């Protein structure tokens, strides 16, 4: 028989810590243990049904004794002896700090829930409103809420030991007795509903559908807050169509060639899930590449820091991305091969697994997809896989007299953001509305991301096809440059000037290296296997540069290639 009962955290603590429960679980000599257990429970409630349900839950399923029939008499005896939570007049028992916090928490009643990875979250009520803010348990915001709750009711600070114990109880209650929900950082939803969290103290969230957008304090999507998140203003329609987009374009000093690329990244970053295109900004000093990347982040996901260095490992990259929606990696001089692969995976949905510390076999698991922006001097991206997922943006140095202070730029950006967000939300609504009827572009590697951008284009003020054309031309140009700047391309070009090649990779390598006086850099392949691997990786970029490489079917003589 199953028993269901609603209990307070104090009663949960009493049940888990009671020394009499193990005796009841054995089903032998239960009378004395049940009597003492009931005496502990009446401190929290005198409700016979609740106490009876808890005692029944601690007894074996096949229990056939009379203890349950004796529970009413046990309750009466415990109340007569003064074990209840409401002592007689003139007798006042001093509650422990954790008990005070339990009572205060139960009076407020914040909702607990868990993510599919069994992480605990709490919906904290906002001050002076009916909204909530979702944070992790434990987190700084959660601890601060509990400390303030205790202080407001007692005028004292709660001891750290009691706070830590209470947080463990909250985690247990969230994981074992609360609903499971999908959670998102800053942007979340599906292809029918996109929610954007402005990060405001009142808990307001913007919900975007095919019919437009609205501001609500009770969103249908669970958006969680992370430490360092900064607020955004609420949207406001401009006096003219696309005024927010136009002001952003002028502030960023973008022209008709570069604006469609930046706008594509901004609209793509509002997609509720991956894959995402990343923004790769190259330019000489003084071209404003760092400023443009930060403007994009401030417009969608402002946080501290706004820009950061590229982490040293894939694990650190995933941890950073787990707590941010848009990430900016600033002033890169080059991206190592392993980090280039990790970034390419992050754009599509990267998974990371590692043995959890202080365990024998438990796994620490992360799976996340994020839009991100990179900027650097020169050709800092060397891998075609990452470049295929990027929106390449090449900037020229600003002319003399055109530079402005960052303080002025951020003030102007803050002023235009309400109108910009109105235009951005309208474009996202357009994407939701047109996604089903818009043909998916097949000329770009990131088909899903490009499909979302194409569906939103009619709400951007740009001519039809402008954004996809700009993406195709930019990627083709950068892929060709990527190939031609590689030492393998010049060696291949020298060999193919004599005529087409067909043969094994080892034969091609011999031709490439036949000039003993020719020196290659450290990226040049030195074995047939390394040559075949690099040719496969660079095949598309080589094709953009005019060198077509094809791998033939494997035969008894091995696998041949043509160039």
Task: Tally the C-alpha atoms within 13 A of residue 195's C-alpha that lie toward its C-beta.
Answer: 21
Question: Is the separation of the CB atoms in 552 and 562 below 8 Å?
Answer: yes
Mean pLDDT within 40-67: 83
Place 2 in a pLDDT band, splitting at 50, 70 and 90: very low
Count of residues making up the chain? 563
510-551 confidence digits (pLDDT tens): 888 876 556 677 778 888 888 888 888 888 778 877 888 888
Question: Is the separation of the CB atoms in 71 and 87 below 8 Å?
Answer: no
Question: What are the angstrom distances between the C-alpha of 199 and each of 134, 218, 302, 440?
Answer: 11, 14, 9, 33
Helix (H, G, I), strand (E, B) or coil at 205: strand
Helix (H, G, I), strand (E, B) or coil at 225: coil
Cβ neighbors of 325 (< 8 A, separation 6 or more) are 185, 186, 187, 269, 300, 301, 370, 371
297-314 confidence digits (pLDDT tens): 999 999 999 999 999 888
Place 127 in a pLDDT band, splitting at 50, 70 and 90: confident
Higher pLDDT, 28 or 104: 104
Helix (H, G, I), strand (E, B) or coil at 538: helix
Out of 69-83, 233-247, 419-433, 460-474, least confident range: 69-83
Please check the confidence at residue 358 and state whether its pLDDT lies above 70.
no
Please check the confidence at residue 73 and state whether its pLDDT lies above 80.
yes
pLDDT at 1: 42
Which one-letter DSSP state was computed for residue 553?
P
pLDDT at 361: 55
Place 333 in a pLDDT band, splitting at 50, 70 and 90: confident
pLDDT at 216: 94
Question: What are the angstrom distances between the C-alpha of 336 and each of 314, 352, 371, 380?
Answer: 11, 19, 19, 9
Could you tell me if residue 401 is left (phi over 0), alpha (psi between -120 and 50 degrees) or otherwise beta?
left
Mean pLDDT within 375-390: 82
Question: What are the angstrom distances between the C-alpha of 24 and each of 9, 31, 61, 291, 557?
Answer: 21, 9, 11, 67, 76
Cβ neighbors of 494 (< 8 A, separation 6 or more) are none
% of the chain beyond a pLDDT of 90 = 45
Residue 223 CA to residue 207 CA, distance in Å, equals 11
- Mean pLDDT comparison of 46-60, 412-426, 476-490, highest-scoring range: 412-426
Which H helix or E strand runs over 323? none
Please check the confidence at residue 84 and state whether its pLDDT lies above 80.
no
Residue 349 CA to residue 368 CA, distance in Å, equals 5
pLDDT at 114: 95
Return the number of other C-beta atoms located less than 10 Å from residue 235's C-beta. 22
pLDDT at 145: 95
% of the chain beyond a pLDDT of 70 = 92
pLDDT at 534: 85
pLDDT at 3: 47
Out of 206-210, 452-456, 530-534, 543-547, least confident range: 543-547
Which H helix or E strand runs over 385? helix 384-388
Return the number of other C-beta atoms located less than 10 Å from residue 143's C-beta. 18
| Closest to 68 (Cα-Cα) out of 16, 6, 24 | 24
Secondary structure tally for the chain: helices H, strands E:
20, 18
Place 398 in a pLDDT band, splitting at 50, 70 and 90: confident
Mean pLDDT within 32-45: 84
Residue 349 CA to residue 352 CA, distance in Å, equals 10
pLDDT at 411: 96
pLDDT at 356: 56
pLDDT at 515: 66
561 strand-pairing partners: 503, 551
Using a 10 angstrom Cβ sphere, with 0-12 exposed, 13-18 middle and 19 or more buried, the burial of residue 215 is: middle
pTM value surpassing 0.85 = no
Out of 188-197, 408-417, 452-461, 547-556, least confident range: 547-556
Please check the confidence at residue 144 and state whether its pLDDT lies above 60.
yes
pLDDT at 510: 86
pLDDT at 531: 87
- Mean pLDDT comparison of 55-59, 146-150, 367-371, 520-524, highest-scoring range: 146-150
Residue 445 CA to residue 478 CA, distance in Å, equals 14
Beta strands 120-125; 132-136: pairing state = antiparallel
Mean pLDDT within 124-137: 88
Residue 94 CA to residue 96 CA, distance in Å, equals 7
Task: Tally the C-alpha atoms within 13 A of residue 508's C-alpha that lie toward its C-beta.
Answer: 30
Which one-letter DSSP state was computed for residue 377?
S
Out of 129-138, 260-269, 352-361, least confident range: 352-361
């Amino acid at each position: 028989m199953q028993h269901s009962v609603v209990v307070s955290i104090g009663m949960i603590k009493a049940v888990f810590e009671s020394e009499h429960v193990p005796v009841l679980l054995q089903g032998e000599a239960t009378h004395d243990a049940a009597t003492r257990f009931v005496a502990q429970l009446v401190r929290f409630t005198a409700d016979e049904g609740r106490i009876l349900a808890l005692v029944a839950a601690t007894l074996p399923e096949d229990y056939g004794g009379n203890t349950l029939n004796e529970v009413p008499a046990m309750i009466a005896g415990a109340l007569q002896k003064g074990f209840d939570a409401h002592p007689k007049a003139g007798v006042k028992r001093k509650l422990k700090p954790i008990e005070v916090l339990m009572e205060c928490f139960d009076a407020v009643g914040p909702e607990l829930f868990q993510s599919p990875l069994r992480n605990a979250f709490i919906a904290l009520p906002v001050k002076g409103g009916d909204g909530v803010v979702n944070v992790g348990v434990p987190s700084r915001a959660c601890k601060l809420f509990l400390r303030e709750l205790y202080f407001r009711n007692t005028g004292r600070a709660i001891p750290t030991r009691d706070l830590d114990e209470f947080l463990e109880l909250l985690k247990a209650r969230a994981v074992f007795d609360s609903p499971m929900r999908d959670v998102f950082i800053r942007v979340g939803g599906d292809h029918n509903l996109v929610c954007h969290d402005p990060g405001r103290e009142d808990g307001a969230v913007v919900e975007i559908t095919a019919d437009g957008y609205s501001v609500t304090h009770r969103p249908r999507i669970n958006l969680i807050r992370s430490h360092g998140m900064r607020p955004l203003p609420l949207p406001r329609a401009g006096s003219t169509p696309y005024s927010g987009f136009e002001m952003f374009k002028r502030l960023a000093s973008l022209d008709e060639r570069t604006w469609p690329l930046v706008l594509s990244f901004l609209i793509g970053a509002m997609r509720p899930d991956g894959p995402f295109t990343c923004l790769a900004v190259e330019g000489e000093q003084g071209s404003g590449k760092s400023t443009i990347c930060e403007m994009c982040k401030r417009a969608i996901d402002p946080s501290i820091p706004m820009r950061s260095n590229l982490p040293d490992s894939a694990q650190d990259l995933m941890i950073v991305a787990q707590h941010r929606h848009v990430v900016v990696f600033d002033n890169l001089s080059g991206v190592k091969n392993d980090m280039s692969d990790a970034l390419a995976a992050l754009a599509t949905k990267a998974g990371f697994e590692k043995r959890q510390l202080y365990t024998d076999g438990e796994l620490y698991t992360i799976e996340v997809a994020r839009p991100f922006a990179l900027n650097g001097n020169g050709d800092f991206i060397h891998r075609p896989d990452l470049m295929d997922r990027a929106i390449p943006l090449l900037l020229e140095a600003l002319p003399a007299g055109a530079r402005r202070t960052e303080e002025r730029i951020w003030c102007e950006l803050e002023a235009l953001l309400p109108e910009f967000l109105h235009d951005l939300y309208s474009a996202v609504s357009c994407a939701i509305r047109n996604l089903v009827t818009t043909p998916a572009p097949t000329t770009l590697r990131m088909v899903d991301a490009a499909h979302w951008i194409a569906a939103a284009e009619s709400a951007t003020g740009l001519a039809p096809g402008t954004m996809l054309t700009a993406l195709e031309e930019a990627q083709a140009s950068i892929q060709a440059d990527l190939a031609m700047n590689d030492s393998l391309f010049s060696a291949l070009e020298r060999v193919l000037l004599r005529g087409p090649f067909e043969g094994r990779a080892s034969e091609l390598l011999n031709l490439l290296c036949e000039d003993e006086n020719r020196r290659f850099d450290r990226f040049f392949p030195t074995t047939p296997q390394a040559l075949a691997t690099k040719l496969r990786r660079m095949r598309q970029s080589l094709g953009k540069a005019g060198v077509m490489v094809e791998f033939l079917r494997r035969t008894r003589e091995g696998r041949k290639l043509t160039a």
